[in-house]
Protein backbone atom coordinates (compact mmCIF):
# COMPACT_ATOMS: atom_id res chain seq x y z
CA UNK A 1 0.00 0.00 0.00
CA UNK A 2 1.08 3.61 -0.60
CA UNK A 3 2.06 5.93 2.18
CA UNK A 4 -0.86 7.46 4.08
CA UNK A 5 0.51 10.99 4.05
CA UNK A 6 2.87 13.07 2.01
CA UNK A 7 2.98 15.98 -0.39
CA UNK A 8 1.91 13.70 -3.26
CA UNK A 9 -0.35 11.39 -1.28
CA UNK A 10 -3.13 9.95 -3.41
CA UNK A 11 -1.48 10.95 -6.69
CA UNK A 12 -0.25 8.79 -9.55
CA UNK A 13 2.87 10.14 -11.24
CA UNK A 14 4.36 9.02 -14.56
CA UNK A 15 8.04 9.93 -14.95
CA UNK A 16 9.86 9.42 -18.23
CA UNK A 17 13.54 8.51 -18.19
CA UNK A 18 13.21 7.49 -14.56
CA UNK A 19 15.37 4.37 -14.40
CA UNK A 20 18.52 6.42 -13.78
CA UNK A 21 19.91 9.94 -13.36
CA UNK A 22 17.66 12.86 -12.47
CA UNK A 23 14.55 10.84 -13.25
CA UNK A 24 15.52 8.10 -10.82
CA UNK A 25 16.13 10.62 -8.04
CA UNK A 26 12.80 12.26 -8.84
CA UNK A 27 10.97 8.94 -8.79
CA UNK A 28 12.37 8.07 -5.37
CA UNK A 29 11.53 11.55 -4.05
CA UNK A 30 7.97 11.43 -5.38
CA UNK A 31 7.41 7.95 -3.94
CA UNK A 32 8.75 9.07 -0.57
CA UNK A 33 6.06 11.76 -0.60
CA UNK A 34 3.29 9.23 -1.18
CA UNK A 35 2.93 9.11 -4.96
CA UNK A 36 2.36 5.89 -6.84
CA UNK A 37 5.11 6.16 -9.43
CA UNK A 38 5.26 4.83 -12.97
CA UNK A 39 8.85 4.57 -14.18
CA UNK A 40 8.76 4.87 -17.97
CA UNK A 41 12.11 4.32 -19.67
CA UNK A 42 13.79 2.64 -22.61
CA UNK A 43 16.18 1.09 -20.09
CA UNK A 44 15.19 -1.44 -17.47
CA UNK A 45 13.65 0.13 -14.39
CA UNK A 46 13.18 -2.90 -12.16
CA UNK A 47 16.05 -1.85 -9.89
CA UNK A 48 14.44 1.56 -9.34
CA UNK A 49 11.10 -0.09 -8.56
CA UNK A 50 12.78 -2.39 -6.04
CA UNK A 51 14.59 0.53 -4.38
CA UNK A 52 11.31 2.42 -4.02
CA UNK A 53 9.55 -0.65 -2.62
CA UNK A 54 12.38 -1.22 -0.14
CA UNK A 55 11.87 2.33 1.12
CA UNK A 56 8.15 1.72 1.62
CA UNK A 57 6.87 3.29 -1.58
CA UNK A 58 4.92 2.06 -4.60
CA UNK A 59 6.18 1.96 -8.16
CA UNK A 60 5.87 0.07 -11.40
CA UNK A 61 8.04 -0.05 -14.51
CA UNK A 62 6.91 0.17 -18.11
CA UNK A 63 9.29 0.13 -21.06
CA UNK A 64 8.79 3.32 -23.03
CA UNK A 65 10.44 5.07 -25.96
CA UNK A 66 9.30 8.69 -25.78
CA UNK A 67 9.81 9.16 -29.53
CA UNK A 68 7.33 6.38 -30.32
CA UNK A 69 3.66 7.34 -30.16
CA UNK A 70 2.35 3.84 -29.50
CA UNK A 71 4.93 3.36 -26.74
CA UNK A 72 3.86 6.55 -24.94
CA UNK A 73 0.19 5.64 -25.31
CA UNK A 74 0.90 2.22 -23.82
CA UNK A 75 2.81 3.73 -20.88
CA UNK A 76 -0.09 6.01 -19.99
CA UNK A 77 -2.51 3.09 -20.25
CA UNK A 78 -0.22 1.09 -17.95
CA UNK A 79 -0.37 3.88 -15.37
CA UNK A 80 -4.16 4.04 -15.42
CA UNK A 81 -4.61 0.27 -15.42
CA UNK A 82 -2.10 -0.25 -12.59
CA UNK A 83 -2.97 2.61 -10.26
CA UNK A 84 -6.42 3.76 -11.41
CA UNK A 85 -5.62 7.19 -12.81
CA UNK A 86 -2.96 9.77 -13.58
CA UNK A 87 -2.34 13.08 -11.82
CA UNK A 88 1.28 14.00 -12.54
CA UNK A 89 3.29 13.81 -15.74
CA UNK A 90 7.00 14.50 -15.28
CA UNK A 91 8.51 14.73 -18.76
CA UNK A 92 12.09 14.18 -17.67
CA UNK A 93 13.55 12.07 -20.50
CA UNK A 94 16.12 13.93 -22.56
CA UNK A 95 19.48 13.78 -24.28
CA UNK A 96 22.53 15.97 -24.67
CA UNK A 97 24.59 14.43 -27.47
CA UNK A 98 28.37 14.73 -27.30
CA UNK A 99 28.93 16.15 -30.79
CA UNK A 100 26.24 18.82 -30.37
CA UNK A 101 28.12 22.05 -31.11
CA UNK A 102 27.61 25.27 -33.08
CA UNK A 103 25.23 25.74 -36.03
CA UNK A 104 27.89 25.20 -38.69
CA UNK A 105 29.29 21.90 -37.43
CA UNK A 106 26.43 20.09 -35.70
CA UNK A 107 25.15 17.22 -37.82
CA UNK A 108 21.52 17.11 -38.83
CA UNK A 109 21.38 13.60 -37.37
CA UNK A 110 22.34 14.95 -33.94
CA UNK A 111 19.90 17.83 -34.30
CA UNK A 112 17.02 15.55 -35.32
CA UNK A 113 17.61 12.97 -32.59
CA UNK A 114 17.82 15.72 -29.98
CA UNK A 115 14.57 17.29 -31.14
CA UNK A 116 12.82 13.91 -31.36
CA UNK A 117 13.62 12.97 -27.78
CA UNK A 118 13.58 16.38 -26.08
CA UNK A 119 10.65 18.00 -27.89
CA UNK A 120 8.57 15.35 -29.64
CA UNK A 121 8.87 13.18 -26.54
CA UNK A 122 7.39 15.93 -24.37
CA UNK A 123 4.58 16.56 -26.84
CA UNK A 124 3.68 12.88 -27.07
CA UNK A 125 3.72 12.57 -23.29
CA UNK A 126 1.26 15.45 -23.02
CA UNK A 127 -0.87 14.17 -25.91
CA UNK A 128 -1.66 10.92 -24.12
CA UNK A 129 -1.37 11.94 -20.48
CA UNK A 130 -3.74 14.91 -20.68
CA UNK A 131 -6.90 12.88 -21.42
CA UNK A 132 -6.03 10.51 -18.57
CA UNK A 133 -5.41 13.47 -16.25
CA UNK A 134 -8.72 15.09 -17.21
CA UNK A 135 -10.47 11.80 -16.46
CA UNK A 136 -8.70 11.74 -13.07
CA UNK A 137 -9.89 15.22 -12.12
CA UNK A 138 -6.88 17.23 -13.31
CA UNK A 139 -3.25 17.39 -12.37
CA UNK A 140 0.18 18.83 -12.99
CA UNK A 141 2.57 18.55 -15.94
CA UNK A 142 6.27 19.17 -15.28
CA UNK A 143 8.31 19.54 -18.46
CA UNK A 144 12.08 19.59 -18.13
CA UNK A 145 13.58 22.46 -20.10
CA UNK A 146 16.86 24.10 -19.07
CA UNK A 147 18.42 27.40 -18.09
CA UNK A 148 19.65 27.51 -21.72
CA UNK A 149 16.03 28.06 -22.75
CA UNK A 150 16.55 31.54 -21.29
CA UNK A 151 20.11 32.33 -22.36
CA UNK A 152 22.89 31.05 -24.59
CA UNK A 153 25.14 28.32 -23.26
CA UNK A 154 28.81 28.98 -22.55
CA UNK A 155 29.63 25.74 -24.35
CA UNK A 156 27.97 25.56 -27.81
CA UNK A 157 25.16 23.00 -27.97
CA UNK A 158 22.81 24.37 -30.61
CA UNK A 159 20.46 21.40 -30.88
CA UNK A 160 20.04 21.01 -27.13
CA UNK A 161 19.47 24.74 -26.61
CA UNK A 162 16.92 24.88 -29.43
CA UNK A 163 15.09 21.86 -28.05
CA UNK A 164 14.81 23.30 -24.57
CA UNK A 165 13.56 26.62 -25.91
CA UNK A 166 10.86 24.67 -27.72
CA UNK A 167 9.89 22.86 -24.52
CA UNK A 168 9.54 26.18 -22.69
CA UNK A 169 7.29 27.65 -25.39
CA UNK A 170 5.23 24.47 -25.64
CA UNK A 171 4.72 24.43 -21.89
CA UNK A 172 3.27 27.94 -21.93
CA UNK A 173 0.87 27.00 -24.72
CA UNK A 174 -0.33 23.86 -22.94
CA UNK A 175 -0.79 25.80 -19.71
CA UNK A 176 -3.04 28.35 -21.39
CA UNK A 177 -5.13 25.74 -23.19
CA UNK A 178 -5.89 23.75 -20.05
CA UNK A 179 -5.81 26.45 -17.35
CA UNK A 180 -9.57 26.24 -16.75
CA UNK A 181 -9.74 22.46 -16.99
CA UNK A 182 -7.78 21.62 -13.88
CA UNK A 183 -4.44 20.90 -15.51
CA UNK A 184 -1.35 22.97 -14.82
CA UNK A 185 1.85 22.89 -16.86
CA UNK A 186 5.18 24.34 -15.82
CA UNK A 187 8.74 24.08 -17.06
CA UNK A 188 11.56 23.02 -14.77
CA UNK A 189 14.79 24.69 -15.89
CA UNK A 190 17.89 23.21 -14.24
CA UNK A 191 21.33 24.66 -14.48
CA UNK A 192 24.20 22.19 -14.97
CA UNK A 193 23.68 19.20 -12.68
CA UNK A 194 26.49 16.70 -12.29
CA UNK A 195 24.78 13.66 -13.81
CA UNK A 196 26.41 11.03 -16.05
CA UNK A 197 24.94 12.83 -19.07
CA UNK A 198 26.61 16.13 -18.19
CA UNK A 199 29.86 14.42 -17.19
CA UNK A 200 30.01 12.86 -20.65
CA UNK A 201 29.39 16.21 -22.34
CA UNK A 202 31.91 18.07 -20.14
CA UNK A 203 34.53 15.47 -20.88
CA UNK A 204 37.66 17.38 -19.84
CA UNK A 205 38.80 19.87 -17.20
CA UNK A 206 38.77 22.79 -19.63
CA UNK A 207 35.10 22.28 -20.47
CA UNK A 208 34.15 21.76 -16.83
CA UNK A 209 36.02 24.86 -15.65
CA UNK A 210 34.55 26.93 -18.45
CA UNK A 211 31.08 26.02 -17.21
CA UNK A 212 31.87 26.43 -13.51
CA UNK A 213 33.18 29.96 -13.90
CA UNK A 214 29.70 31.03 -15.02
CA UNK A 215 27.98 29.68 -11.89
CA UNK A 216 27.89 32.32 -9.14
CA UNK A 217 27.55 29.65 -6.45
CA UNK A 218 30.73 28.03 -7.79
CA UNK A 219 29.48 24.45 -8.02
CA UNK A 220 27.30 22.17 -10.10
CA UNK A 221 23.85 21.35 -8.78
CA UNK A 222 22.90 18.10 -7.10
CA UNK A 223 20.14 15.87 -8.53
CA UNK A 224 18.07 16.10 -5.33
CA UNK A 225 17.94 19.90 -5.72
CA UNK A 226 16.16 19.46 -9.04
CA UNK A 227 13.93 16.68 -7.70
CA UNK A 228 12.77 19.01 -4.93
CA UNK A 229 11.82 21.62 -7.53
CA UNK A 230 9.90 19.01 -9.53
CA UNK A 231 8.14 17.93 -6.34
CA UNK A 232 6.97 21.50 -5.70
CA UNK A 233 5.60 21.82 -9.24
CA UNK A 234 3.93 18.41 -9.09
CA UNK A 235 2.30 19.03 -5.71
CA UNK A 236 -0.68 21.17 -4.76
CA UNK A 237 1.75 23.61 -3.15
CA UNK A 238 2.10 25.20 -6.59
CA UNK A 239 -1.67 25.20 -7.21
CA UNK A 240 -1.81 28.79 -8.54
CA UNK A 241 1.25 28.42 -10.77
CA UNK A 242 0.97 27.52 -14.42
CA UNK A 243 2.78 28.39 -17.64
CA UNK A 244 5.86 29.37 -15.68
CA UNK A 245 9.53 28.49 -15.63
CA UNK A 246 11.15 27.40 -12.39
CA UNK A 247 14.88 28.06 -12.81
CA UNK A 248 17.22 26.22 -10.43
CA UNK A 249 20.67 27.18 -11.64
CA UNK A 250 22.97 28.36 -8.85
CA UNK A 251 22.42 31.95 -9.98
CA UNK A 252 23.59 31.62 -13.60
CA UNK A 253 20.70 33.49 -15.20
CA UNK A 254 20.96 36.30 -12.64
CA UNK A 255 24.64 37.06 -13.28
CA UNK A 256 25.87 39.77 -15.64
CA UNK A 257 29.48 39.73 -14.46
CA UNK A 258 30.68 36.35 -13.33
CA UNK A 259 32.18 36.30 -9.79
CA UNK A 260 35.84 35.33 -9.73
Cβ atoms of 163 and 114 closer than 8 Å = yes
Residue in 93, 220, 95, 103 with CA at minimum distance from that of residue 160 = 95
Residue in 54, 57, 81, 52 with CA at minimum distance from that of residue 4 = 57
Cβ atoms of 140 and 188 closer than 8 Å = no
Confidence of residue 197 (pLDDT cuts 50, 70, 90): low
Domains and CATH numbers, the chain: 12-245 (3.40.50.720)
Q: What is the mean pLDDT of residues 48-68?
A: 98
Q: Which residues are catalytic?
A: 160
Q: What is the pLDDT of residues 85-100, one digit of tens each?
A: 999 999 999 999 989 9
In the chain, % of residues over pLDDT 70: 96
pLDDT of residue 207: 72
pLDDT of residue 2: 41
Residue 12: is its pLDDT beyond 90?
yes
Q: What is the mean pLDDT of residues 99-117?
A: 97
Q: What 3 state SS string does 83-121 have? A: HCCCCEEEECCCCCCCCCCCCCCCCHHHHHHHHHHHHHH
Q: Where are the alpha helices (DSSP H) in 149-255?
A: 158-178, 196-201, 205-212, 223-234
Q: What is the pLDDT of residues 198-210, one digit of tens each?
A: 777 677 777 777 7
Q: How far is CA 50 from CA 20, 37, 61, 128, in A?
A: 13, 12, 10, 27
- Lowest average pLDDT, out of 24-33, 130-139, 202-211, goes to 202-211
Confidence of residue 3 (pLDDT cuts 50, 70, 90): very low
In the chain, % of residues over pLDDT 90: 84
Amino acid sequence: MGQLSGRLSGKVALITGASSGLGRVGAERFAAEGAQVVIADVNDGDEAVEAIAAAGGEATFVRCDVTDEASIESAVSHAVETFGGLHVLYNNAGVMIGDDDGPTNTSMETYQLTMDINVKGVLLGCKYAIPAMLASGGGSIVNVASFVAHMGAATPQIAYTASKGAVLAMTREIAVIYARQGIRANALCPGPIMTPMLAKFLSDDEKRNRRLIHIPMGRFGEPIEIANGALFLASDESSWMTGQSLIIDGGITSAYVTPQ
